[in-house]
Chain A
Amino acid sequence: MSDLINIISGVLIISGALAIIVGLIGVFRMPDFFTRLHAASIVDTMGTMLILFGMMLYSGFNIVSVKLLLILIFILVTTPTAAHALAKSALHGGLKPMLDKDEKE
């Protein structure tokens, strides 16, 4: 039973690390700043969630997993705020988003 839980948490952690690398590949491939922000949010959500859930599963229910949950909540609350501040000040600083179709309604 505990072997199975260890295997599941290992799979979660490795796939989280893979998600982070995919997000960084996206940061390198995307053509402009605003699309790069989308790739960066993969690192902040998918990578963080998978790795911290995997570690929570590995440690079981004790004070360690509560601390991991707190780290997850802090990251999930603060990173959208940072991304929004970055997008707004980049727009303010004169970067124009590259648009496919201007669908301003």
Chain B
Amino acid sequence: MGEKRFMKGNEAIAEAAVRGGCRFFAGYPITPQNEIPEYLSWRLPEVGGAYVQGESEVASVNMVYGASAMGVRAMTSSSGPGISLKAEGISYLAAAALPAVIVNISRGGPGLGSIQPAQSDYLQATKALGHGGFHCMVFAPASAQEAVDVLYDAWDYAERDRNPVLVLMDGCLGNIMEEVELPPMKELHDEDLPEWSLTRRNGRDWQGNITPIYTEPILEGLNAMAGEMYKGWEEDDVKVETFMTEDAEYVVVAYGIAARVAKEAVLTLRAEGVKIGLIRPITLFPYPKAAIRDLDYTQVKGIIDIEMTVPAQMREDIELQVMGRCPVYEYGRSGGCLLDDDGVLEAIREVLEGGEA
């Protein structure tokens, strides 16, 4: 059994990262994720790791780039405005085939937006984290415990793929306290450092080099390899929770904090005899296409996309799988206004009664 603790989501992320092998963190203060760098600033030195408060988000992600090139498990975290600044570095990580974990504890946008929670970075996370047409696996945990589980394994995916991994949570999940069970510390040894790492040249007779610059036709080949990698994710790595969808006539699709509120609504409506279920993507990329595509549309009368952002950003991904077989509705709050049980319930009831959510 793991060790049980009562922790803020952000602190749980930080501790799980350490236990998952993270030994380098660089970041820049931004609300609502400050507990992550604060925690790691003292925790990493305890385990022989290094923490740097960067002069900017841009510098921080490039520090991660340098540490990752040495084969060390490295991480940075931020919120929307800072993730935009990291976009360059994340693109370079993908280009140089360097693993890393990036955490976005998201808030209202666009621009400086609000410091209150929102799920306004879905499109950025899943479609274009930076220039040049690349993807990262995107995990969207819905609890502190799920965040712990995701962080603990995040580098296994990142190192397998030699590609950065994004963890997308909102400021609400980052700041509420919940019970978590922490896994044991992963033991990592110097001899386990990846072969490509630039840790040392001694004993190696080939030139170690890592670069984000290529010329044609090499770059085209690498682009094609990345495409194959993304296809592999769709086959092997999709994570999704389906809840009470077997007989459902209405299906709510929601991730993260929105899914927790939506689940309460589903339970309330089920108690009233409404046949309603929930699909909760845990990976936003690869998207759980099959869970939505393979619903029985002779039975399903409507899909309701619930997100803590306005307008809904995931809707197009849902519609691509529904393919017009039933109506898709959306409901959300935004700009730091939180979803609440009554609002979500009311929005779903409107759909059930034949109105527009």
The answer to whether A and B come from one shared complex is no
